[in-house]
Amino acid sequence: MSEGADHLAEVRRRIAEAAKAAGRQPADVTLVAVSKTHGPERVRELLEAGHRVFGENRVQEAQDKFPALKADYPDLELHLIGPLQTNKARDAVALFDVIESVDRERLAGVLAREMERAGRRPPCFIQVNTGEEEQKAGILPAELDGFVASCRDVHKLPVVGLMCIPPVDEEPALHFALLRKMAERNGLAKVSMGMSADYETAVRLGATHVRVGSALFGARH
């Protein structure tokens, strides 16, 4: 077994345990393997081990890495998890299967237009800045309900859930619980939360997607 396959088995085992402890089905949690900064050969290790869902935070890096991988594995599902500039929206709609970082009105409008143009509608998550951090992307909690309504009713975006990245120096559980509550309030079934350090906590608090990088691939270069 490759080292990647080894780590994958361990992370999957922990997700399953956390799910069961919370009375959830392990299959209801999707592991998004975050491969940013790692080469395609590392992604292939996980593909060969049967994994299919990956996350990248930059459009350009994903464009360099994933078209060839997708050609070999047509059922590969690629998530955009990083901030999206409007001038990259067209490329993002063409390449990604899920966009997790919709966070502002103008981007929602541009994405809607590009989806219409491309005839391709990748499901979207709205990123929420639950810690209200100035430097961090995401819509503020107080603006969320209005933004969800606008994405759905004005832009007709395929919004399926919410995503957050808690502040590094705070208890993530509070942010996860808040995100889940905001999703429920808005009738959204999916919540993307939890990274290498806290994905088990996120699963216990209802994550349907966890985004795990270093626990699978090791430290980033």
Ligand X SMILES: *Cc1c(COP(=O)(O)O)cnc(C)c1O
| The one among 43, 195, 202, 207 contacting ligand X by CB under 6 A | 195
Residue nearer to ligand X on the CB measure, 148 or 215: 215
Say if strands 159-164 and 124-128 run parallel, antiparallel, or are unpaired: parallel
Residue nearer to ligand X on the CB measure, 74 or 131: 131
Q: Residue written as tokens 């079934």?
A: 189
Among 6, 28, 4, 2, residue whose Cα is nearest residue 15: 28
User: How many angstroms separate the CA atoms of 108 and 90, rounded?
Assistant: 12
Residue nearer to ligand X on the CB measure, 152 or 204: 204
Q: Which of residues 16-45 bind ligand X (CB under 6 A)?
A: 34, 36
Query: At closest approach, how far in Å is the CB of 199 from ligand X?
Result: 8
Q: Is 209 in the site for ligand X (CB under 6 A)?
A: no
Among 100, 16, 5, 84, residue whose Cα is nearest residue 45: 5
Residue nearer to ligand X on the CB measure, 148 or 193: 193
User: How many angstroms separate the CA atoms of 62 and 57, rounded?
Assistant: 8
Q: Is 211 in the site for ligand X (CB under 6 A)?
A: yes
Positions in the binding site for ligand X (CB under 6 A)? 34, 36, 57, 81-82, 165, 195-197, 211-215
